[in-house]
Amino acid sequence: MNSDTEEIRTLVDNWILYRDAGDWERFRTVFHPDGRVLATWWQGTADEFIQASREGWERGISILHSHGGTTVEVAGDRAIAQTKMTIAQRDLVEGVECDVVCTGRFFDFFAKRDGRWGMVLRQPIYERDRIDPVQPGATVELDPELLARFPVGYRHLAYLQTKVGYQVKTDMPGTTGPRTEALYALGRDWLAGKVDTLDHWS
């Protein structure tokens, strides 16, 4: 493993560890100044995402992350990292305390500037999720119309997040589909140096 790959994998690790620990100052070091994050519940600059995460933390919003394997493609001063991940959120859903677990991948765009790698864009890919009451034997009745508004890969996560007050994006990439293929194409263009900015991806 070369030093570039090691540095990028460390940043992927730091994203989860700093964010879930509420270590907001060090969390900011994962990104370049123009970094952006597109998640189900928030799309914007890294600074805005950090502030929104901090505000949610202070309100007791419990969103935790873990990840598995990471693969990194480096092309000069650009890179793409894909990482298997799990998002777990706990909150009341229709009056019942529930856990939602969503599995997928982080699809991350990196750039090396002034000798330092930093994240430029994080776009999760949402593949499968489920919802479970925390109390054994409890049941939760979901609104089928609300549930059906969201893609299969993250519909239970989106349901919970909508119930706690977030405006959830409804066209996030999944296991397959046009949005996912467009993300892969953007990744190839990024590595090939065909695009100078990722601001058009939203």
Task: pLDDT tens for the chain, 202 residues: list them.
Answer: 579 999 999 999 999 999 999 999 999 999 999 999 999 999 999 999 999 999 999 998 889 999 999 999 999 999 999 999 999 999 999 999 999 999 999 999 999 999 999 999 999 999 999 999 999 999 999 999 999 999 999 999 999 999 999 999 999 999 999 999 999 999 999 999 999 899 899 8
Run of H or E including 180: helix 178-192
What is the distance between the alpha carbons of residues 158 and 91, in angstroms, rounded to a whole number?
Answer: 12
Task: Measure Cα distances from 78 to 10, 113, 123, 157, 201 in Å.
Answer: 16, 9, 16, 32, 17
Within its chain, how far is the Cα of 1 from the centroid? 25
Structural domains of the chain, ranges and CATH numbers in brackets: 3-187 (3.10.450.50)
- Check residue 202 and report its DSSP letter: -
The model's pTM: 0.95
What gap in Å lies between CA 154 and CA 150, rounded to an integer? 7
Terminal-residue alpha carbon distance, the chain? 32
Q: What is the pLDDT of residue 199?
A: 87
